[in-house]
Chains A and B, each alone.
Chain A
Amino acid sequence: MTIVAGYAPDERGRAGLELAAMLARSAGEHLVVCVVIPAPWVPGMARIDTEYQAFLDDRAHRALDQARADLPSDVTADFSVHSARSAPSGLLEVAAQHDASVIVLGSSTAGVFGHVALGSVTGRLLHSSPYPVALATRGFRAGPEVRVTRVTVAYGGSEQADDLVVAAAVVASRMSASVRLASFAVSPRPPYTSGVGRLADDARVREWAASMETAAQKALQPAEDVQPVPHPLEVVIGYGEDWDEALDDIEWRDGDVLTVGSSAVGPAAQVFLGSRAGKIVRHSPVPVVVVPRAAAQELAGQ
């Protein structure tokens, strides 16, 4: 299995590269750093675009040189240039060639630092990739020697989530990281004028949290069978009036990775980011891995 990192010679590329290095280091997997350039047109008589292709090629190789320089020294990687109709399809082709375990990308430069922001490439992959997609937060830097120490699973209580929990446990076990299930209780407080007090409604949220915690503990049961058991297996609940607050409510640290599952709306084999998962991804302060249902099932099956 291989980790495929999409690279661009800018700030996005660096963050993605750091994340890919951290994942490769933790999982002991091979890393392929790849730059996707536009495919040449059907060759005509005049071969008019040779010069342009040469320019692109040169630029790509210079980008890879930079990637080589940026890559932490304790991780070895292959570097390749791939031409394709579009960046997402190119990345998918490379991933297919290497039977990738995950595609790693950086955040869009349009987002805020420290959060994941979706751009056009990540947006497309998050709604169609058959491979798990890992996204670095904008400006992400793992630092040398940092490994994944904890895998947080965004848990919504659905049945598909059970597979994801086991899959996360399997991956965490390989990385000797711990697993934690996180549920997010996002609920605005009532308007003052409802006359029941602003705190009264917290009872409802607690009711929900209690049932969610029971479900999460149950979902963790099969994870106990994973050898070696990733410890500790814990359940946390983030409270907030909006998603930002709720995600901030649980503690995060270096070496954290957040995993979210694919929506049940999309096809099982591909990533399809649901509305809630989308909100979690956008507000996450740590790198996020989005896993298609089929991949989660496969991992859970091991």
Chain B
Amino acid sequence: MASLREQILRRKPVTEMAAETGADTERSELKRTIGLLPLSAIGIGGTIGTGIFFVLSEAVPIAGPAVVWSFVFAGVVAGLTAICYAELAGAVPVSGSSYSYAYATLGEIVAMGVAACLLLEYGVSGAAVAVGWSQYLNQLLDNLFGFEIPEALSQAPEQGGIFNLPAVILIALCALLLIRGASESTTVNAIMVMIKIGVLILFIVIGVTGWNSDNLSDFAPFGFSGVTAAAGIIFFSYIGLDAVSTAGEEAKNPRRNLPLAILIALLTVTTLYVLTSLIAVAAQPTERFDGQEAGLAQILEDITGSEWPGTLVAAGAVISIFSVTLVVLYGQTRILFAMSRDGMIPELFHKVNARTLTPVPNTIIVAVVIALLAGLIPINFLAEMTSIGTLVAFIVVSIGVIVLRQTHPDLPRGFKVPLYPLTPILSVVGALWIIQDLRPVTIYVFLIWVAVAMVWYFVYGRSHSHLGRHEHVGLAEDVEP
């Protein structure tokens, strides 16, 4: 019996991971075909649209017009962590999310902690995005048919409703698609990204006509702490930049292109976000944001006095957020799939249906849980929980970079972070700073959540871990890289 210390720190050998993901079958030979611009496009597509469509009504009341700086601040932290993520992804040639990286570099217990964060990053953000979708759906229905889904069926209980039905239906639809095995193709995904960006540009172009400097006169009513607090919520809308790193195995000249693509994506996204938020705060007084639903569409209607721009924005949001929900749900089921194969959660999660090739029980469980969250919990809480989960996962990744440099200095790295060790340290500090300004309730719930995950690990995962059971505890250094 391995000692507790050995158990919780056991790491998954890299070659074993490569074999499990099928890297030894010819199917896995991904050619290096993605150049710099497509790589940046992946980052832009992965990021835009998850939050910007509904995060303003949560963030502006906290920061005032200075929310613009919150976007810059959150963007810088996101960029730093994305660069750290790229180094880890290049150094540990396994495919997967930060869970896999943590398992290979920092040990089992940390991997479990990261997994708990990822459940927030994916599961809870899926719920948040679905709630945002239901707001825009309502706006669209109202504009097109003069009819809205009643409050009781489109709001969380805390906001005066009973159940958020549209959000639940959206998740059910996505789950159905995933069970049938229809995953979103790269082409469809690209079209969705175009729609998202098009909608934001439309907002900026039309919105600028409603510019009123009076709205900016009290620029930072809540000071710097307001800015960082809002950044905490906004961070949610920068999730997805790490998609660039996961495409690293297909990138041409990754050493040069990965960081450059992250930078380009970050600059593009931040510029779009800053412009959008600037236009929005200049268009209406801070107070109006509070509780405003389908914000971007509303603002355009107020400015132009006609309905069509708002309808267009709402339609674009409805279409593109659907694809975001699909992708998020997809990611969540696959992370649980990987965990289940490692024995960290029950085997049920990696049962694959013979006909559709999809993990059906896994998808159903994920969909039911996310649907309950989306139906019952208000969006600002969901957004904050997502942010803290992602921030902590990113902190672990940044620490992982430092740890790996200490323990395996000679490991060939496809890409190294510039200004080491400043970059990972700054990334950790920035993330911690954003976290400490989140509402205390968010931090408490998060700590409880991680504690639950740890209890689960000690009760179940530690003894069921395949790595432990096979007594095949080759550490990463035993294996030639």
Contacts and interface: CB of A to CB of B under 8 A. Distances in A.
Interface in B245-275: 246-247, 249-250
Interface stretch (B200-208, B349-357, B364-372, B446-454): B349-357
A195 B350 CA distance: 19
Contact of B45 (A156, A193, A207, A208): A193
Chain A interface bracket (under 10, 10 to 19, 20 to 34, 35 or more) = 20 to 34
A203 interface: yes
A205 B27 contact: yes
A190 B96 contact: no
A207 B351 CA distance: 8
A202 B100 CA distance: 14
B319 to A, nearest CB: 15
A200 interface: yes
Interface string A200-226: 111111111001100100000000000
Contact of A208 (B25, B26, B334, B352): B352
A196 B46 CA distance: 12
B119 to A, nearest CB: 13
Contacts of B240: 193, 195
- Report which residue of A187, A200, A201, A206 has the largest number of chain B beta carbons within 10 angstroms of its beta carbon: A200
Given A193-B45, A195-B240, A208-B352, A200 B359 contact: no
A196 B354 contact: no
Contact of B30 (A188, A190, A193, A199): A199
B370 to A, nearest CB: 15
Tell me if A's interface is mostly helix, strand, loop or mixed.
Answer: mixed
A279 B27 CA distance: 20
Interface stretch (B53-61, B69-77, B177-185, B403-411): B177-185
A212 B352 CA distance: 10
A199 B249 contact: yes
B42 interface: yes
B435 interface: no
Interface string B310-327: 000000000000000001
Interface in B330-348: 330-331, 334-335, 337-338, 341
Given A199-B22, A202-B28, A192 B357 contact: no
A196 B247 contact: no
A190 B334 contact: yes
B214 interface: no
B115 to A, nearest CB: 12
A203 B20 contact: yes
Contacts of B249: 197-199
A272 interface: no
Given A191-B189, A192-B46, A239-B27, A197 B96 contact: yes
4 smallest CB-CB distances across A and B, nearest first, come from A199-B95, A202-B22, A193-B46, A197-B95
Interface of A: 156-157, 185-188, 190-208, 211-212, 215, 239-240, 249
